[in-house]
């Protein structure tokens, strides 16, 4: 593993670079054991070596298993900020005021019309 001098992160620090997919795969296993977060490796078209990138959820917000009063699945947001931002967008677009609350069942955040 070495620091790339071609490829940089958004903050300007060098990306960790692996010479082979095998080496990148080992790093993924290591990070998973140490920190418990999942990464994927990809072959970089700029430098020709391998980097890791965090394995994100498919979309920042996703369907939880929680149902609303109509029996439909609710949108869940992983952080208060994400839910709040979404509520602001909905307010701007539709003029509907929504409140963020933390859900004990899925341990994420939902939006509701009712203020608790």
- Applying CB under 5 A, among 78, 84, 103, 112 the residue interacting with Zn ion is 103
Contact 17, 5 (CB under 8 A): no
- Applying CB under 5 A, among 25, 31, 47, 112 the residue interacting with Zn ion is 47
Asked if 31 is part of the footprint of Zn ion (rule: CB under 5 A), the reply reads no
Report 51-70 residues binding Zn ion (CB under 5 A). Answer: 64, 66
- Two structure tokens written together for 4: 């790339």
Could you tell me the CA-to-CA distances from 64 to 4, 17, 74, 106 in Å, in that order? Answer: 39, 35, 6, 7
Asked if 82 is part of the footprint of Zn ion (rule: CB under 5 A), the reply reads no
Nearer to Zn ion, 26 or 78 (CB): 78
Whats the size of the chain, residue-wise? 116
């Amino acid at each position: 593993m070495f620091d790339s001098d071609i490829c940089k992160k958004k903050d300007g620090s060098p990306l960790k670079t692996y010479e082979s997919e095998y080496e990148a795969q080992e790093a993924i296993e290591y990070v998973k054991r140490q920190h418990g977060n999942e990464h994927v490796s990809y072959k970089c078209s700029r430098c020709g070596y391998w980097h890791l990138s965090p394995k994100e959820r498919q979309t920042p917000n996703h369907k939880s298993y929680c149902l609303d009063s109509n029996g439909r699945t609710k949108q869940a947001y992983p952080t208060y900020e994400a839910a709040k931002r979404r509520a602001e967008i909905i307010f701007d677009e539709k003029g509907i005021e929504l409140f963020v609350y933390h859900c004990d069942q899925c341990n994420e955040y939902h939006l509701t019309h009712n203020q608790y």
